[in-house]
Structure 1
Amino acid sequence: MYRSVTGEIIWAYGEKEKALLTINTPKYQAAAGRLDKVRVQLDNISAAFDQHGAITAIALDDMTLSMSKSILLTTVSSFRNTGMISEIRNSGPAHLQGKLVREVGTAPVLLKRIRGELVFTSAHNNIPRVAAVMTDGSLKNINGVQSKAGDKMQNIVIPLGTENSPWYWVEF
């Protein structure tokens, strides 16, 4: 396991099936890796998903995530360009083994949807509007957002992967 001097970045790579990279700062939090095997637990995010992938949360108003009124969530699993061709190499020198990209392909990028539940901890006491940001820029409200009040903070439960978009805007 690698840990940054501040403890904000942790790369837990020891067990291949549970490999996870996390970034945990007041204004930006992220996790990437085996999100299907490990429940992510950061200061403002707790999440479990159905497959490997990545999730990020960033405050858009220069506040901490717990105080922010505008947050962008990004969730994605695997992705590839249209027409991208790759192959697995198991022979030859070690540095040439693994996945090899034969053709990089072109736009648009094809994203695999990741499904799961994200619990976001906020100091706000109202249920936020959560909307998927569609590729044309339009917003589509997400149904099923729930609030669970705590002592000083509120947990917002957000179902993810219901729309064909990797971006979610959270507005308090």
Structure 2
Amino acid sequence: MAEQVTTETNQYLTFTLGKEVFALDISTVREVLELTHVTRIPRTPDYMRGVINLRGHAVPVVGMRRKLNMKDIEDTINTCIIIVEVEFDGERTVLGALVDSVREVFEMDPESIEAPPKMGAAVKSEYIKGMGRQDDEFIIILDIARIFSAEELAAVQKMSQQAPTPSESAA
């Protein structure tokens, strides 16, 4: 009987913020949505764009540019919302990440991913799982769970439980 050889390959969803290319582990991504109406919630942090109605549930949307201390730009036809799941307090928290554009699902061998840089990146290195490469382009692989502090995730979870869905607030 022939020995079965398995090679581990990781899949990542790549997206852009300005000229930078970022990636999220595909296992954290639920779906990608076109930009839709985001209902602003008063007295939330500036990186919180508000909530969207996702099949009857209020899902908080985070502006990734603001969260990563990047300059805001106007939304375009390519702007989309990546729906992700983050583990917090033993529960799955669903939130939307607003990005400039989504590119593709990309496979990278674990050996081709370098450790995060100690300095010089646009993003704090504790948010970065690693640095990948596609042709001559660097891809910053983000750890979506580390981008948010425990307090921020608790606030997001509370917001999604208390916020009216956009259809309710219009009534």
TM tier relative to shorter chain: under 0.3
Q: Based on CA coordinates, which of the two structures has the bigger radius of gyration?
A: 1
Per residue, is there more strand in 1 or in 2? 1
TM-score normalised to structure 2 length: 0.23
**Higher RCO by CA contacts (8 Å cutoff, separation 6 or greater):** 2
